[in-house]
Amino acid sequence: MGATKSDAKLLNRSRWPGFTLVELLVVIAIIGILIALLLPAVQAARESARRAHCSNNLKQLGLALHNYHVAHKVFPPAGIGYGWCRYPEYGDENILNVNGLLFLLPYLDEQPLYDQYDPTQCVCTLMHGNEGCCPPTLSEGTLAGDPVTSGNAAVVSQRLAVFSCPSDIGDPFQSANSSHYGIKPGSGFEGAKTNYDLVTSHSYHCNSWKRENRATRRIFGENSNTRIARIGDGTAHTFAMAETLYDIYNGECAGWGYRAWVMVGVDPGGYLINRWDYTTRNGPIMPRRGRLGSWAHAGSMHPVGCHIMFADGSVHFLHEDTDAVIRRALSTMDGHDPAELP
């Protein structure tokens, strides 16, 4: 029997050109290469956007600092009434453990949240530091009330976008059960961390700011009361705030509303930027990018540095290789050593 017209059509279709297996694999490989070439550019664009967002956060905080100064004729302190600091004989009688960043809320469009804060009550119950390594730290003061019953714990457990860098992928909350870093162990409240903190000395001695030499004093410290007129080196030549990270090996990132053990602030004049290493008694730890070595270290997940806000409110990017002499000069407010970033 002869071939039908339908058989001829099927025969012609079978002869249509198509991809061989080799050709298909080549096409897939080319697509993979193009994606691999495009991905870094996409990631770079995203990081550029995150970095701009981060810089804008610091600019908002700078405006808030200056608006606070206009209203109160003084900058807020880094904190008030620490119950965990070393040499408690120099400490306060009234223990509040409050972070001065909390006082900026009315100038950050957070007045309703600030109205829930009770300034007569503490925001953290810690009344001693690490007695194992660093005695004496047993407070001689009296804890002011209770952060849970006062509602202060609920306030400082709120995560706020203005205190959060989008590049940081660490845990933004403290453990609710931490005995040295939590708001009140067992209360269920997790303290919200901050990626931006006030520039202070890394000293954790009680009221050390008041006793520091004016040549080495930072703008902020426990119970500090700095006016712009007292910044002898000039506001454009003095660090006010710096970036830090949620993840820290030796210590913890400060809560934006409270200060617990060694949550003194950030000291870019005393430590390297983006320092991932730390040496213990048993030797060095394995460095990991994104985890700062210790408390008071400045750093970020942005490549090769972090943002710094000067006392005039301007925001700059501080390279991690910036000379230590320059960093120290820019950290002090009246050292008669005004410097500029390269």
Contact of 276 with 265, CB cutoff 8 Å: no
User: CA triplet 109, 111, 112: central angle to 5 degrees?
Assistant: 115
* Helix (H), strand (E) at residue 214: none
Asked if the model's pLDDT at residue 12 lies above 60, the reply is no
pLDDT value of position 7: 53
Asked if the model's pLDDT at residue 3 lies above 80, the reply is no
pLDDT value of position 337: 82
Contacts 24+ apart (CB under 8 A), 52-57: 53/165, 53/166, 54/165, 54/166, 54/167, 54/195, 54/243, 54/300, 54/302, 54/307, 55/307, 55/315, 55/317, 57/161, 57/162, 57/163, 57/164, 57/165, 57/195, 57/196
The residue-averaged pLDDT of 306-323 equals 97
pLDDT value of position 15: 52
pLDDT value of position 248: 98
The residue-averaged pLDDT of 52-75 equals 98
C-alpha to C-alpha distance for 90 and 208, rounded to whole angstroms: 8
Answer yes or no: is 2 within a domain: no
String of DSSP letters for 219-282: S--BT----GGG-TT-GGGSEEEEE--S-EEES-PPBSSB--TT---B-TTTS-TT----EETT
Answer yes or no: is 7 within a domain: no
pLDDT value of position 102: 98
Contact of 75 with 224, CB cutoff 8 Å: yes
User: Closest Cα partner for 153 from 176, 177, 132, 124?
Assistant: 124
pLDDT value of position 328: 96
Q: How many domains does the chain have?
A: 1
Residue scoring higher pLDDT (281 or 147): 147
pLDDT value of position 10: 47
Q: What is the mean pLDDT of the chain?
A: 92
pLDDT value of position 39: 63
Answer yes or no: is 20 within a domain: no
C-alpha to C-alpha distance for 81 and 89, rounded to whole angstroms: 13
Answer yes or no: is 211 within a domain: yes
The pair of three-digit structure tokens given for residue 168, joined into one six-digit string: 């940081």
C-alpha to C-alpha distance for 189 and 175, rounded to whole angstroms: 8
Answer yes or no: is 280 within a domain: yes
Answer yes or no: is 338 within a domain: no
pLDDT value of position 20: 77
Contact of 77 with 223, CB cutoff 8 Å: yes
pLDDT tens string 123-145? 999 999 999 999 999 999 999 99
> Phi, psi at residue 207, to the nearest 5°?
50, 40
Answer yes or no: is 106 within a domain: yes
pLDDT tens string 22-45? 767 777 777 777 776 666 655 666
Answer yes or no: is 16 within a domain: no
Q: How many CA within 13 A on the CB side of residue 251?
A: 24
Percentage of residues in the chain with pLDDT exceeding 90? 82
Domain of 45 in residue numbering reads as 28-331
Establish whether the linkage from the previous residue to 136 is cis, with ω within 30° of 0: yes
Q: How confident is the model at residue 17 (pLDDT cuts 50, 70, 90)?
A: low
